[in-house]
Structure 1
Amino acid sequence: MIYVAGVPFSPDESSQGTDTLIALMEHPDLVSASNSFKSTAEKKFSVSEDSNSVKSKISKSVYIFQKEFATVDPALVDLVGTDEATTCVGISIRNCRTGMISLAHMDFPNVVENGLSQMLSLITDRDSDTLLDVHLVGGFDDISSQHPNLAPKNRKKLEGYSYPLCAKIIETLRIRSENFQIRTLHVLGQNTKLNTEGFACPIFHGFVVDTSNGSITPASFDRKSRCPDEIVRRIRVTASFEDPNLSHKLLDTYETNSDNFVIAPCVWTIRQKRIATTLQRLSDIEILLTCSSSPSAEAPDFVDNERRKWDYLIRNPNWRETFPSEQPRRFQRTPDGNWVSSL
């Protein structure tokens, strides 16, 4: 069940996810919350000494990539965040009674149902009537630049990537038994602007949650603050699409009780090396057009991140070299907030 401002949100019982999504996007409280979020300065997490950045080591933080989720205990973690979202959606769910928070970076509608169950498994009991605060950020309007005069009620007829994902999330929240109070719905038109070339793109690609109170802030992270084990985790996302055991699921990389990252083994084959070798020969523009769902909306480091991932696959074609004895890669937090391998 969905709540807004403490009141059950009950559109027509025959409504589907798309209709509920449209109604929520027009709700005055959520419009106000989105406008407030939009006016908040973005936090830039970096290990550099840049005066405009927030050094990642000053707080105990957890970062998640696309298709990952993490459930964090506020007694162990100060901040949890994600970025790099264009047509993906970041979703935060917080148990208002315990303060436990689960954050996911959802990429396709087929992960939503199982993904929400994974997120909720450590933060609530199914029989509990506790309100769960929900924030949704991402999923820019990737059809607006192609159909600028299209009415909102007709957008559901078009494909795109963001709209079906947002609608699926809202529909799944609506029909579940838990009580979800939507605090922020900063998606689609609310998270869309035009870039200098006139193409639609996200206003914000990510956000961070303060675990002490559940508040969210727009955020971006540099390469070194997206840790630990950045490249292997990126490869694991790609490899998961060919693994039937990970079909329709989010990737669990963070161990809540120990505050450790545990990267389970994933398999890639010589085929992945061949694909990586072929893609590595493409120009930057060709990489954007081939590998992105929204080429004109990607962050500046998108191509570099793809090339570094392919370079690793080319240099390490045997997955067992990355996961010796088929064991997970475990990382432990150090006193200064960094991560070290604990194998």
Structure 2
Amino acid sequence: MIFVGGVLFERNSTNQGNCDLVALMTHPVLVSASLSFKAIPEKKFSTSDASSDELTKSKHVYLFQREYATVDPMLVDFIGTDEATTCVGIVIRNRNNGMTSVAHLDSPKIVDLGLSQMLSKLGDCGHDTELDHTEQTGGSSEQKDHSFPLCAKIIKALGKSVVKFHIQTLFVLGHNTRKDTAGNALPIFSGVLVETRTGTVIPATFDQTTRCPDEIVRRIRISGSFMDSRWRNKLLETYDTQTDRFIIAPCSWSSRLVRMASFLQQFPDSEVLRTCSTSPFAEAPDFVHNQRRQWDYLIQHPNWKETFQMEEARIFTRSASGGWIMVEPAHEAAD
């Protein structure tokens, strides 16, 4: 069930969620919320930026595309994601216990199972449970082949649920669209950060130093998961809620993916953008650089078992400073 401004939203059952999305996009409460969200200055986080001390000196969890994590506000201060151009970042927070789940959705196919994964770790989510929901996407109103079907599927799934979802912000599609000097549609914001204890959501971007841990392997796992039946239509497991550890579940990559990496690495930057992005005009300046870093890793590590030793997960625990330390498989076994 969907609630807006504390009132049950009456669903339109005639059009598979599309009309629901359109109606919500024009709902006065959510239009006002989008205008307020748009007025918030975007926070840019980097360990090299003194203004980011609040994040870098706190415990935070970062999510890549197709990943999700549910965090306990007693263990984690912030959780966020960025690099959303046609993807959708959603935040679901349990009003009773403050448990917060964030996901970076990239396809309508993963919505149903993905929401189930998110809800499974938020605590009791029965008929009387009330959850706050925030949705933000980098996709503009002109990205109809990518963002609109994904947003519509999310709204349809929320509407069918027995859980009470109180939508706080629906900063998607036309609400999150601007034009560059050439007339290309771009997202106003491509990322979000949640302060877990208050549930406050702000627009944010991160850099290579604040997207830890295991950045390159996790990026590669996005591509590898498409060919792995264990992850079909599911979000990628990333973080263990109870122990505050990153547990990067094993994912194989094929020799075909390695050959493709070698092939793509020869492309000029402009061709990399055109070939590898659904929104080449909207990508961040480091998009091509990050693609090439992944391809370099695949070329240097063609056998996935070198990365996931003994076919076990890669585990990272927090250091005293709030950073991450990798636990070697032998050490984990000894524990």
Looking at structure 1, the residues matched to 309 and 291 of structure 2 have their Cα atoms a distance apart, in angstroms, of: 24
State which drifts further: 85-94 or 265-274. Answer: 265-274
- Distance change (3 Å), C-alpha of 1:317 and 1:142: farther
Deviation of the 1:55 alpha carbon: 5.9
Deviation of the 1:15 alpha carbon: 4.2
Name the counterpart of 1:255. Answer: 240
Deviation of the 1:125 alpha carbon: 2.9
- Distance change (3 Å), C-alpha of 1:175 and 1:139: farther
Amino acid at match of 1:90: G
Amino acid at match of 2:72: D
Deviation of the 1:320 alpha carbon: 0.8
Q: State TM-score, norm by structure 1.
A: 0.93
Q: Is residue 2:294 matched to residue 1:335? A: no
- The percent identity for this pair of structures is 55
Contact kept, 8 Å, 2:248 with 2:314, in 1: the verdict is yes
| Alignment deviations for residues 47-77 of structure 1 (CA, whole Å, 9 cap, x no partner) | 10x3444464311100000000000000000
Q: Is residue 2:126 matched to residue 1:127? A: yes
Deviation of the 1:126 alpha carbon: 4.3
Looking at structure 2, the residues matched to 311 and 164 of structure 1 have their Cα atoms a distance apart, in angstroms, of: 34
Q: Is residue 2:34 matched to residue 1:34? A: yes
Name the counterpart of 2:9. Answer: 9
Contact kept, 8 Å, 2:91 with 2:101, in 1: the verdict is yes
Deviation of the 1:175 alpha carbon: 0.6
Looking at structure 1, the residues matched to 51 and 31 of structure 2 have their Cα atoms a distance apart, in angstroms, of: 28
What does 1:1-343 align with in structure 2 at a 5 Å threshold?
1-48=1-48, 50-54=49-53, 56-141=55-140, 143=142, 159-343=144-328
- Distance change (3 Å), C-alpha of 1:33 and 1:178: same
Looking at structure 1, the residues matched to 29 and 230 of structure 2 have their Cα atoms a distance apart, in angstroms, of: 40
Q: State TM-score, norm by structure 2.
A: 0.95
Aligned residue-pair number: 328
Contact kept, 8 Å, 1:88 with 1:108, in 2: the verdict is yes
Amino acid at match of 2:236: L
Amino acid at match of 2:192: F
User: What's the secondary structure of 1:281's corresponding residue?
Assistant: coil
Looking at structure 2, the residues matched to 324 and 110 of structure 1 have their Cα atoms a distance apart, in angstroms, of: 31
Looking at structure 2, the residues matched to 260 and 249 of structure 1 have their Cα atoms a distance apart, in angstroms, of: 20
Deviation of the 1:183 alpha carbon: 0.3
Runs of 4+ in 1 over 4 A off after TM superposition: none
Looking at structure 1, the residues matched to 95 and 142 of structure 2 have their Cα atoms a distance apart, in angstroms, of: 35
User: What's the secondary structure of 1:3's corresponding residue?
Assistant: strand
Amino acid at match of 1:243: D
Contact kept, 8 Å, 1:139 with 1:163, in 2: the verdict is no
Taking only aligned residues, the RMSD between alpha carbons, in angstroms, comes to 1.2
Contact kept, 8 Å, 1:57 with 1:336, in 2: the verdict is no
Looking at structure 1, the residues matched to 218 and 314 of structure 2 have their Cα atoms a distance apart, in angstroms, of: 10
User: What's the secondary structure of 1:248's corresponding residue?
Assistant: coil
Contact kept, 8 Å, 1:93 with 1:101, in 2: the verdict is yes
Looking at structure 1, the residues matched to 132 and 155 of structure 2 have their Cα atoms a distance apart, in angstroms, of: 14
Looking at structure 2, the residues matched to 77 and 51 of structure 1 have their Cα atoms a distance apart, in angstroms, of: 21
Contact kept, 8 Å, 1:140 with 1:188, in 2: the verdict is yes
State which drifts further: 124-133 or 328-337. Answer: 124-133
